[in-house]
């Protein structure tokens, strides 16, 4: 006799994921775990390093050349592609101006286009729920503006240093980000699990929580 099981994949977070193992007992549902610690993160193939401007999935910082304003953004594409978009946006015939263009026009300032700093590598997680961007989920940007026409998250303070944003980015260690991302991914996976299972399982889950 064959049994058909429905598996839900969630990240393994010690002390959290184990609590949900007994929830599916007696049901046709099963929980499978995966780890964020991949072999390719531990074993590095000796390759020539990528040029600074060709890196993807990064958080970057552009400094104003004429004042203390700092633009902090994130992009999934190559850095040089995004920077070129920022640089050329001022020439676009549009009423919707980006925050960098707005700063350049209002103050007649320019930015250090050839000295863009990479601050963090982004963490993306595709979940069964919606594939949220984990950087956004853990709220590294405490003050962000989204330019929907350019697809990337943006944060800038045109009058002074974006102190809160920069502080958050500089003082969040990578392992702290990873744990928070794992916990959020777990939350999304469990949310999807509860949405598709029966009420008895949900009641048992509440007892565990």
DSSP notation for 81-96: HHHHHHHHGGGS--S-
Full-model pTM: 0.42
Distance of CA 27 to the CA centre of its chain: 34
pLDDT score for 185: 58
- Give the lowest-confidence range in 110-124, 163-177, 183-197: 163-177
In angstroms, what CA-CA distances link 209 with 14, 18, 166, 202?
15, 12, 35, 10
**Counting beta carbons within 10 angstroms of the beta carbon of residue 171, is it exposed (0 to 12), middle (13 to 18) or buried (19 or more)?**
exposed
- pLDDT of 65 > 90? The answer is yes
Integer Cα distance of 94 and 97 in angstroms: 7
pLDDT score for 21: 75
- pLDDT of 111 > 90? The answer is yes
Give percent of the chain with pLDDT exceeding 90. 15
pLDDT score for 81: 92
pLDDT score for 12: 81
- pLDDT of 84 > 90? The answer is yes
pLDDT tens for each residue of 142-172: 334 334 334 444 444 333 334 434 444 444 4
CA-nearest of 121, 119, 126, 120 to 184 is 126
């Amino acid at each position: 006799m064959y049994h058909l099981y429905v598996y839900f994949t969630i990240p393994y977070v010690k002390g959290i994921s184990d609590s949900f193992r007994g929830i599916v007992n007696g049901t046709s549902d099963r929980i499978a775990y995966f780890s964020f610690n991949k072999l390719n993160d531990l074993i590095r193939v000796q390759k020539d390093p990528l040029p600074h401007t060709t890196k993807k999935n990064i958080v970057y910082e552009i400094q104003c050349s004429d004042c203390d304003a700092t633009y902090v953004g994130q992009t999934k594409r190559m850095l040089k592609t995004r920077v070129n978009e920022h640089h050329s946006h001022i020439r676009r015939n549009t009423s919707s101006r980006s925050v960098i263009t707005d700063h350049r026009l209002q103050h007649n300032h320019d930015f250090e286009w050839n000295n863009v700093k990479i601050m963090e590598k982004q963490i993306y997680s595709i979940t069964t729920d919606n594939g949220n961007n984990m950087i956004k989920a853990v709220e590294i940007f405490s003050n962000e503006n989204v330019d929907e026409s350019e697809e990337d998250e943006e944060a800038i303070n045109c009058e002074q240093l974006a102190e809160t944003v920069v502080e958050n980015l500089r003082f969040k260690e990578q392992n702290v980000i990873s744990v928070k991302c794992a916990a959020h991914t777990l939350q999304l996976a469990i949310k999807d699990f509860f949405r598709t299972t029966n009420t008895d399982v949900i009641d048992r889950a509440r007892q565990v929580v």
